Amino acid sequence: MMTKTKIIIAGIGGVGGYFGGLLANRFYDNENVEINFFARGQHLKEIQANGVKVIKGESEFIAKPTLATDNPVEIGISDFIIITTKSYDLEAVIKQLRPCINQDTIILPLLNGVDSKERIKDIFPDNIVLDGCAYIVSRLKRVGVIENSGNIQTLYFGLDNLVNERLLLLEYLLNEANVEASLSKNISTIMWEKFIFISPTATATSYFDKCIGELIADNEKLKMTTTLIEEVKKIAKAKQVYISDDITEKTVNKLKTLPFETTSSMHADIKNNKPNNELKSLTEYVIKEGRKYNLATPTYMEMYVELKKKSGI
């Protein structure tokens, strides 16, 4: 008899709510696959009562997971855990999920930044921890409601040069649920090319307190943003990650295609005086890695010092 495959989605915000909603919708009442949501607060209560509503353009559906809970003991040992919390919650969440993890549990973080895998490995050194990244414009509209407003919703995951049956199973289950997921053997390139976009964008929008359109329109600000891109690129190369030669140009062009008023989640959090933000994993990380490889990151340093003050850290 086939044993049940248990998947946990931890963090039912824009990313987790969308991909988790698709999975729950596809495998509802399936005897071989169980989709469990780990969430909290009012959002959890709404999901427990009515499921999660997922909106994309004209279409919408309501998905019900096998179980939605804030108590990991109720879920038990799981095959796969997909973590989609904010990066500053990562350690707390992974420790809470200890009752769901044995030596065979595979953990997939889908967070901004490139340090999630090593941070999880510090806590669970013997587990397979994947690298993963999602391209999606989706948000928690209100409790119990997730809205995907973009035209891209792809997910990449894997470990460089590792493919095994369980990773292929995860890819198969995601694709079955209409998640555009690819198991990649060169995931570090995909991760870093995204980081080269996200880290400078988050740092510059937060530092200047401007949306992306305003950064692009001002030559001086655009020049400083481009310098940030160059500084991160040097670190990727020092880490021997393969990065395309025209990545700076590609990244600036990507910024130019975004709607004028787009900004970063870090900028929004700092602007709204949220007690936590992603400064550590998106800005400070670059400076620390620079030190490790004896690479100067003066523009990052200048902005980081200012952002630390703004954040009251």
Q: Is the dihedral of CA 204, 205, 208, 213 positive or negative?
A: positive
| 16 and 84 Cβ atoms separated by less than 8 Å | yes
Write the pLDDT tens digit of every residue in 47-89. 999 999 999 988 999 999 999 999 999 999 999 999 999 999 9
pLDDT score of 1:
40
Residue with tokens 């400078």: 200
- Residue 310 identity (one-letter amino acid): K
Q: Any idea what DSSP says for residue 79?
A: S
pTM greater than 0.85: yes
| 215 and 204 Cβ atoms separated by less than 8 Å | yes
- Residue 208 identity (one-letter amino acid): F
Phi-psi region of 144 (alpha: psi -120 to 50; beta: other; left: phi over 0): left
Cα(82)–Cα(235) distance, rounded to whole angstroms?
A: 27
| 287 and 115 Cβ atoms separated by less than 8 Å | no
- Residue 240 identity (one-letter amino acid): Q
Other C-beta atoms closer than 10 Å to the C-beta of 1 total 4
Name which of 225, 211, 207, 228 is nearest 270 in CA terms. Answer: 207
pLDDT score of 136:
85
| Tens-binned pLDDT, residue by residue, of the chain (313 aa) | 458 999 999 999 999 999 999 999 999 999 999 999 999 999 999 999 999 999 998 899 999 999 999 999 999 999 999 999 999 999 999 999 999 999 999 999 999 999 999 999 999 999 999 999 998 888 889 999 999 987 788 999 999 888 999 999 999 999 999 999 999 999 999 999 999 999 999 999 999 999 999 999 999 999 999 999 999 999 999 999 999 999 999 999 999 988 899 889 899 999 999 989 999 999 999 999 999 999 999 999 999 999 999 887 6
Torsion of CA 305, 310, 312, 313, to 10 degrees: -30
Write the pLDDT tens digit of every residue in 279-301. 999 999 999 999 999 999 999 99
